[in-house]
Amino acid sequence: MKIICDKEKILKAINSVTKAVASKTTMPILEGILIQTNDKEVKLTTYDLEIGIEYIIEAEVEEQGATVVNATMFSEIIRKLPDTEIKIYLNDKNLLVIECEGSLYKLATMNPEEFPELPQINIENSIELEQNALKEMIRKTIFAVSTEENRPIFTGCLFEVVDNKLNLVAVDGFRLAWKTKYLQTKVNNFSAVIPGRTLNEINKIILDNFDTIQIGIAKNQALFEMENCKIVTRLLDGEFLNYSNVIPSMWDTRIRVNKSNMQNCFERVSLISSSSIEKEKKYPVKVSIEIGKVTISCTNQTGDAKEEMYVSTEGKNLEAGFNPKYFLDAFRAIDDEEVFIDFGTSISPCIIRPIDNGDYIYMILPIRMKD
C-alpha cells in the first residue's frame, strides 16, 4: 500500500471515523483504523461493535493494499504535520511509514483481515432530509436523553415517522423533548430507537448545510449515509414511552415570556440553587405566577435569590418547584424569541412550546417543595 494525499482531506476523514474507535476493549484491533485503497480512493473504517463509520477520500494511490494502525497515534501524528501532501505506505517490515516534508514516522500495524466487518443492512424503511434539518432536530432533543443505564431504552432517541412527519423524541424520566418535521417525499410509517451516543457523534460529523443524508432502518440496525461517509449503528430494543399520552393537552396557567430574559433569570438563580457549599445537593427553584408577574426564587444555606419578571399571564395563580437545569437546557435549544409556558397544578408537568408553530415541545416534571 502506498498513497499520497492532502493533509486536510485525510484529517477530516480521521476526525470523523475516530468517533467509533473502541476506548475500553480486550480487542486491540478495535482501537485501530482500517485503511484500504480502492483504485483512486482510500477508505478509512472504525468499528467498536456498536457504531461503525466509513469515510472515503480521493488520493493518489501508487500501490493498492490495506492495513490497520492504532487510531490515537495515527491521528495525533497526522494532526501535527505541516499543511501539505503526506505520503503513507507500508514498508518491507510491515510498518506504516508517514512522510511529510522533513517528518518521518513508522508505526506498528495490525492484520486487516482480523478487523471485523461492518454489519450488512437490509433496509426496510428509509428517509432523506437535509443535513442541517437533522442537525437541528438532534440539537433540540439530544440533551433530554437519559444517561441512566437501568432503563436502556431511554438512553436512545425515538425516530418515528407518522403520516409523513418525522418525530424525534427524547425522555429521561424527568423531562421530555419532542421535535417534528414534515418530510418532502412520501414514506412509510416506522419507528426505531437510536442510541443517544450515536446521535451525538452523527451530529459532530454532519454539516450545517442543505446536502442530504439518507437514513435507513433495518430490524436491529440503522444506516446514516452521506456523500463520502457511512455510519452504521445498532438499535435499542424495548418499548419506548407512549409520549403522546403523557403530554398534557390542557393548561390551567399560561405565561408568554421572552425566552432570553427568562433564561437569564434562571441562570442567575441557579447560582444559588447549585450550592457550592453543599456540592452534592441540588436545590429546586420555586416558580410563582401571579397576574402579570412571574417570580423565580431559591433559598438554601448559601443564601437567597429572587428574580421577578413582568409577563403576560392567563389563568390561575400558581406555585411549583423545578430543577432549573431542565429549563436552561430547553431554553438553550430554543431559537424563538418568545414562548408559551403552560402549567397545570403544582404537581403536574409544565410545557414549553412555540407561539406560532407547533414543531417542538419540552415537558418538565415539577419537584415537590418542602414547606
Helix (H) or strand (E) holding 40: none
Tell me whether residue 339 is in a domain.
yes
Q: Could you give the 3-state DSSP secondary structure of residue 121?
A: coil
Tell me whether residue 119 is in a domain.
no
Confidence of residue 371 (pLDDT cuts 50, 70, 90): low
Residue 326: DSSP 8-state: H
134: cell is 437533522
Asked if residue 234 and residue 252 are part of one domain, the reply reads no
**Long-range Cβ contact pairs of 149-155 (< 8 A, separation 24 or more):** 152/236, 152/237, 152/238, 153/193, 153/236, 153/237, 153/238, 153/239, 153/240, 154/240, 154/241, 155/195, 155/196, 155/197, 155/236
pLDDT at 31: 97
DSSP string, 165-227: EEEEEEE-SSEEEEEEEE-SS----EEEEEEHHHHHHHHHHS-SSS-EEEEEE-SSEEEEE-S
pLDDT at 281: 55
- Sheet of strand 350-354: strand arrangement: 190-195, 156-162, 165-171, 175-182, 360-364, 350-354, 338-343, 253-258, 312-315
Cα 168 to Cα 73: distance, rounded to the nearest angstrom: 37
Asked if residue 286 and residue 333 are part of one domain, the reply reads yes
How many domains are there within the chain? Answer: 3
Tell me whether residue 139 is in a domain.
yes
344: cell is 397545570
Asked if residue 68 and residue 136 are part of one domain, the reply reads no
Residue ending a domain, choose from 244, 269, 284? 244
Cα 209 to Cα 133: distance, rounded to the nearest angstrom: 8
Task: Give per-residue pLDDT as tens, 155-208.
Answer: 999 999 999 999 999 999 999 999 999 998 899 999 999 999 999 999 999 999
CA 294 to chain centre: 33
Asked if residue 207 and residue 167 are part of one domain, the reply reads yes
Given a contact cutoff of 8 angstroms between Cβ atoms, the answer to whether 97 and 91 are in contact is yes
Residue ending a domain, choose from 64, 80, 114? 114
Checking if the pLDDT of 87 tops 60, the result is yes
Cα 289 to Cα 309: distance, rounded to the nearest angstrom: 10
Tell me whether residue 370 is in a domain.
no
pLDDT at 25: 87
Asked if residue 286 and residue 307 are part of one domain, the reply reads yes
Tell me whether residue 120 is in a domain.
no
Q: What are phi and psi of 54, to 5 degrees?
A: -115, 140
pLDDT at 274: 75
Asked if residue 349 and residue 262 are part of one domain, the reply reads yes
- Sheet of strand 109-110: strand arrangement: 109-110, 66-70, 32-38, 41-47, 51-58, 229-234, 221-225, 212-217, 125-130
Asked if residue 130 and residue 92 are part of one domain, the reply reads no
Tell me whether residue 316 is in a domain.
yes
Residue ending a domain, choose from 84, 114, 144? 114
Asked if residue 99 and residue 140 are part of one domain, the reply reads no
Asked if residue 138 and residue 101 are part of one domain, the reply reads no
Q: Could you give the 3-state DSSP secondary structure of residue 110?
A: strand
Residues in the chain, total: 371
The three-state DSSP-derived secondary structure of 42-61 is EEEEEECCCEEEEEEEECEE
CATH number of the domain that residue 316 is part of: 3.10.150.10
- CA torsion sign for 254, 258, 262, 267 is positive
Asked if residue 178 and residue 85 are part of one domain, the reply reads no
Cell 437545569 -> residue: 325
Task: Give per-residue pLDDT as tens, 242-287.
Answer: 999 999 999 999 999 999 999 999 999 998 887 645 554 567 899 9
pLDDT at 358: 87
| Strand partners for 66 | 36
Asked if residue 173 and residue 138 are part of one domain, the reply reads yes
Asked if residue 259 and residue 226 are part of one domain, the reply reads no
Quote the domain boundaries for residue 238: 125-244
